[in-house]
Structure 1
Amino acid sequence: MSKPKKTVIEYRNYELPLNFPILLLSGDRWHISDVKSGKLHFHNCLEIGICHSDSGVIEFDNRPVEFKAGDMTFISRNVPHTTYSNKGEASLWSYIFLEPAELLKGDFGGASPYANIFEDMMQNFQMIINRKDYPDIYFLITEIIEELSHKGMNYQLSVKGLMLSLFMKMMRIYSDNKDLTQDDKETHENAIVIAPALDYIKDNYMVNFPIEDLADMCHLSQTHFRRVFNEIMNTSPLSYLNTTRILQSCILLRTTEESILSVSEQVGFRSVSSFNRHFSEIMGTQPSEWRHRMAKVDNASILEYTGWMQAQNLSEEKK
């Protein structure tokens, strides 16, 4: 009997401004294809989405959840998922990517009586709610989108105030809906356990460190840490680290004229041959070829080629 095909998981990095860590993706270009991707993906930050039209499915690992126009999604970073529209449809979305802990610095930190629930929510957010049931949440998100789109006077302060209100309401909803199965509870607890390792990789991917150090950060034995990490992320700690490095290298390849050797060193690879090998495995081509292909895409953002309809068209052209 053949082994079941292993799920492929793609890491997507969204570079957020340091002083105002929030990014809006909105407008007519943000349609989702009805072609189901062969990959799950996860982000480096929290994703908030609003579906404006049509319907489809979001899959969290192997668990499909239907969505429709008016639905709002909240998905934590490091939660593998994929989204596709129903056959013959192309659902239109607006997305907000952000780092809530940085944007709302101090409001839900360690001194806050709600710090634990906020941290738990940030690690385990996988929620879809509808406009009809939560009109106040829909209003807050659409107001945030409006502020981010038009950037009027003091818009950043306005966005922070709206976000503070949004997260206060979402924490209440999240807390009220924590009636989880035993399997869900174990998964969520494990996700929190490996959070220090994920945070360390995010901030120190360019440094060479023993993988064993990650187990120590999580207060787990090496064997137990590797097992839990694989259960949560569907990949090994080393593969996750290398994927993080390769996605960071894509940003440097696209936005700088640094040599391949320099890029490989900046993201933490000890040799350019190792970098080339991992890049080819993850991206399907060599770094130089990838850079050359991306250079031909005039006035386009890397974000346009990370899983949307235009990306699907590009992949079909390559076949």
Structure 2
Amino acid sequence: MPRKKKPVIEYRHYSLPINFPILLLSGERWKISDIKSEHLHFHNHLEIGICHSDSGIMEIKGESVPFKAGDVTFIPRYLPHTTYSSPNEASLWSYIFFSPEELFQHSFKSAYSDFEPNLWAIKGMNCILNKEEHPKVYTLATSVVEELKQKNNFYQESAYGLLLSLYIELLRIHSRNKPLVEQETDHNLKGDFVISPVLEYITKNYMIPITINDLADLCHLSTTHFRRKFHEIMGTAPLDFLNSTRIEEACKQLKSTDASILSISERVGFQSISSFNRCFSKLMGESPKQWRKAVHSEAQSAKASILEFTGWV
């Protein structure tokens, strides 16, 4: 019997605007085919989707969950999934990407640390909220999209308030749906989910020293197996991904602050200025000093992503 073909996993990396870190993808381009993709994908930010027309299926956590017009989807970062429309349909969507931890860190009390639901506990069916049962979610989500599209006076302040209200509502719904006893633990992670703890850890701790052994231990894998599994899913080596995360944060700081290059290199986790300069030049094509000068002179347009590894979309 032929072995079942293993699905390809695509990591879609979105760099958010620095001054207002919310990304909207909307318009006629964002129609989903009725052809079922052989690829699962996941993102580096939380995704909120609004289905404007037609229907289809979202595959998530091994579940096939139907969606229809008026549904709002709520996909935590690093959660593999795919979506396809019903036969002979092409559902139209709008998507909002943001990092709750970054965006709302000053809005929540310091005691609140779980900015995103535990993706191991959340069920696939709870990632899709229909308009009839959750009219508030639908109204808030569509209002955020309209503010970001229209860009009227004070649209950023309005979009921020609406998105904060939407996110709180999503957290409340998730807390009601959360099982009393969580069956899944990191020790039970299998298949494509196995490296997610590492992605989450790097996102939150890129600024401290991290070794390949540290990362392998998070997945309860040998170093050799972890390297192979990470490269298989991400298309790059674990430490290359770590350094790319550091360089992206450095770009934000080079553009938005007057801090010295040495100070920034230390803040993002590099142990020496020479290793920072070497890694920055490799990824960005020029030195940190040249890049900062070009950005400030508006001679260089913003890159959609500095992370362009094999197999990425």
Quickly name the TM-score band, shorter chain normalised: 0.5 to 0.7
Q: What does residue 199 of structure 2 align with? A: 198
CA contact under 8 A between 2:52 and 2:93: conserved in structure 1? yes
- 1:1-319 alignment to 2 at 5 Å? 1-108=1-108, 110-112=110-112, 115-116=113-114, 118-121=115-118, 126=124, 127-179=127-179, 183=183, 185-186=184-185, 197-202=198-203, 210-215=211-216, 218=218, 222-223=221-222, 236-240=229-233, 242-243=235-236, 265-266=282-283
* Cα gap change, 1:171 to 1:20, in 2 (>3 Å): same
Q: Distance in 2 between matches of 1:189 and 1:17?
A: 36
Counterpart secondary structure, 1:49: strand
Q: Distance in 1 between matches of 2:120 and 2:152?
A: 32
* Cα gap change, 1:203 to 1:124, in 2 (>3 Å): same
Q: What does residue 275 of structure 1 align with? A: none
Counterpart secondary structure, 1:53: coil
Counterpart secondary structure, 1:40: strand
Counterpart secondary structure, 1:133: coil
Q: Distance in 2 between matches of 1:29 and 1:68?
A: 18
Cα offset for 1:102? 1.0
Counterpart secondary structure, 1:166: helix
TM-score by length of 1: 0.65
State the Cα deviation string for residues 190-212 of structure 1 (Å, max 9, x = none).
Answer: 5999666214545899xx97421
Q: How high is the sequence identity, in percent, across the aligned residues?
A: 48
Partner amino acid for 1:120?
P
CA contact under 8 A between 1:201 and 1:241: conserved in structure 2? no
Cα offset for 1:24? 0.7
Q: Distance in 2 between matches of 1:107 and 1:226?
A: 42
More helix by share: 1
* Cα gap change, 1:46 to 1:214, in 2 (>3 Å): same
CA contact under 8 A between 1:212 and 1:222: conserved in structure 2? no
* Cα gap change, 1:31 to 1:111, in 2 (>3 Å): same
CA contact under 8 A between 2:10 and 2:234: conserved in structure 1? no
Q: Distance in 2 between matches of 1:108 and 1:189?
A: 31
State the Cα deviation string for residues 206-238 of structure 1 (Å, max 9, x = none).
Answer: xx974213145x4x7544x988x79xxxx8134
Partner amino acid for 1:157?
E
State the Cα deviation string for residues 174-195 of structure 1 (Å, max 9, x = none).
Answer: 0000127865x33698599966
* Cα gap change, 1:123 to 1:302, in 2 (>3 Å): farther
Partner amino acid for 2:73?
T
CA contact under 8 A between 1:131 and 1:138: conserved in structure 2? yes
TM-score by length of 2: 0.66
Q: Distance in 1 between matches of 2:10 and 2:80?
A: 8
State the Cα deviation string for residues 50-89 of structure 1 (Å, max 9, x = none).
Answer: 1111100000143211101111100011110110001100
* Cα gap change, 1:43 to 1:188, in 2 (>3 Å): farther
Q: What does residue 255 of structure 2 align with? A: none
Structure 2 residues without counterparts, runs of 5 or longer: 249-277, 285-302, 306-312
Counterpart secondary structure, 1:94: strand
State the Cα deviation string for residues 150-195 of structure 1 (Å, max 9, x = none).
Answer: 1122211111111221122111110000127865x33698599966
CA contact under 8 A between 2:230 and 2:236: conserved in structure 1? no
Structure 1 residues without counterparts, runs of 5 or longer: 253-260, 268-300, 304-310, 312-319
Q: Distance in 1 between matches of 2:33 and 2:187?
A: 30
Q: Distance in 2 between matches of 1:193 and 1:30?
A: 30
State the Cα deviation string for residues 80-115 of structure 1 (Å, max 9, x = none).
Answer: 011000110000111111111111122346423xx3
- State the Cα RMSD in Å: 4.1
Cα offset for 1:262? 9.1
Q: How many residues align?
A: 249
Counterpart secondary structure, 2:52: strand
Partner amino acid for 2:215?
L
Q: Distance in 1 between matches of 2:31 and 2:175?
A: 32
Cα offset for 1:137? 0.9
